[in-house]
Amino acid sequence: MDFQKIIPLIARTCLAVIFIRSGVGKALDFSGTQEQIASAGLPLAALLTAGAIVFELVGAALVLLGYKAKWGALLLILFLIPATLVFHTNFAEAMQVTQFFKNLAILGGLLMVTAFGSGPLSLDNQTSSRRRFGGM
């Protein structure tokens, strides 16, 4: 097995699964998520909750499938930066420090996807291969 081909798929899966779980959790507890966002002092909590769900689920699906993965990673980055800065900067709490640095690590992985693409085992690669070979 050629690990150079499978490693980007494994990495994309590892990145996507946390956002899928989080997005589904937010959707299943919409009102609880909305209350948490409102308690942080953010306006339009319902709209922000819906936006977070969409960004997480769509971004994660794109990254996981490797279809428009750079756009998916960008959606997740646009979600992750403000979420981290709003909810995980209370450095007096050890758990928040851990959450902050976890998000920083995830951000690094997403930046790798934006810089280097989704890898050979991806829908992006399949689509570009078809274009190179005249739509075969």
Cα separation, 10 vs 3, in Å, equals 10
Distance of CA 37 to the CA centre of its chain: 19
Retrieve residue 104's tokens.
């920083």
Q: Which residue has the tokens 């075969």?
A: 136
Task: Report the C-alpha dihedral over residues 77, 80, 81, 85, rounded to 10 degrees.
Answer: 180
Which tens digits make up the pLDDT trace of 114-135?
A: 999 999 999 988 876 666 555 5
Which tens digits make up the pLDDT trace of 78-122?
A: 999 999 999 999 999 999 999 999 999 999 999 999 999 999 999
Element housing 75 (H / E): helix 69-87
98 CB-side CA count, 13 A: 3
Number of domains in the chain: 1
- Which letter, b or e, does each residue of 20-41 get, where b requires 16 or more Cβ atoms within 10 Å of its Cβ? bebbeebbeeeeebbeebeeee
Domain that holds residue 9: 3-132
Q: Which residue has the tokens 């890898």?
A: 119
pLDDT at residue number 125: 86
